[in-house]
Structure 1
Amino acid sequence: QVPVVLDLHHHWVRSQGEYLRPDDPRIATVIGSWRGVRPVAHISVSREDLLPDWPADSLPDYAALAARGLTTKDLRAHSQRMWNHAVNRLVADHLTWADFEVEAKAKNLAVDDLEQDALRSGAVAAATGGLP
């Protein structure tokens, strides 16, 4: 059996806007597929140049973006950085069960964006038991 690698961004695109929460029952299936090893998941966010006026503190709304004429292909493309604080906080909540690989063009800066938002949310301390 091959472990399932959940990609939150591509799930959002494929489902046309569903954000998976850490308590979603499907997460247990992902965890179980790793057979006792801490899972790895992927995250990215749609390109910032396609969403220049989207509030960084609000989760992107697939239906609203599609209504603006953005296609699935447009929304699937990875951003330079993890510019959306709401997405970063969602990922931080998922740190209780998985480690995340960031898919972004400026990967090192994107990881820093995610880490800073996770630290501000307090999720890193909760996920690691207070370890840095």
Structure 2
Amino acid sequence: FSRLLGKEAIFKIETRAILEGLRLAWKKGIHQLEVESDNVLLIETIVEGVAEDNQLMELCRIHQKVCRGWKVCFRQLPRTHKAVVDHMAKVMASRFTEIQVFEFPPHSMRDLAQEDYFRSSKANEPID
């Protein structure tokens, strides 16, 4: 999905994006989900349970949603492995202000998604 979120602090924007993604997944009946972000602090805050008592309302809501009966895995994604996200942000920011849900990735992003996948797979291979 993609959505224009405005010009707030990046931490809050990324927190809101994760929350929106969790809402969408739950509405669509997806009960097993992997959430990726290049924001190490945000992922650590969510995974370590600090989100539950946080002042940022979106973090509290993420904690509430994660505690539902589903499996959610959070992963820190290296900044070098997010070409798809960067491309979607650039393309969508100029066109839409409301949320856009993609059942299938747009054609312009399929090659980027494949490159990200291969780059990520190589990064996770054991070093000999």
Q: TM-score, normalised by structure 1?
A: 0.32
Q: TM-score, normalised by structure 2?
A: 0.33
* Structure showing greater relative contact order (alpha-carbon pairs closer than 8 Å, 6 or more residues apart): 2
